[in-house]
Amino acid sequence: MNLEDKFQELEGKEEGAHMPHVYYGDPHEEFSLRLIETLVKNGADILEFGIPFSDPTADGPTFQAVCERALENGVTPTKCIQGIKKLRNGGVENPIVVTTYYNIPYVAGVGNFLNRIREAGAQAIIIPRPQQPRIG
């Protein structure tokens, strides 16, 4: 199901969307896969699939720690994309929105990266913008 269809379905039921965020690979990949499957079975409408990044400046301390643990466990953007494929092959049909910092698609080549996540089964991408320092 694509995002537009999901939002139309929810609008018809007069419901909002439940979109839990999971940074893939914390505490390990298998846990993330089982967690996402459990979220789907228990009513998640859309999945926000986070790719861990080494300097998640737009995130708070909890997500920063999660990213650090996932990276220490060897999680890479390629493993994350493979994780999306595993979810799709395992029957997860919910829309998947990838969250990543711009550095990751930039290094991979933006077009290449977008094609890879689309081919894996993601429907959208969120790239957070770090907060700008305040002057004065």
Catalytic (active-site) positions: 48, 59
Tell me which amino acid residue 2 is: N
Instruction: Name 47's bridge partners.
Output: 96
Task: Considering only CA atoms, give the Rg of the chain.
Answer: 15
Strands of the sheet with 21-23, listed across from one edge: 21-23, 47-50, 96-99, 124-126
CA–CA separation, 35 and 70 (whole Å): 15
Helices 77-89 and 29-41 cross at an angle (nearest 10°) of: 40
3 state DSSP class of 118: helix
Confirm if 70 and 25 have CB atoms less than 8 A apart: yes
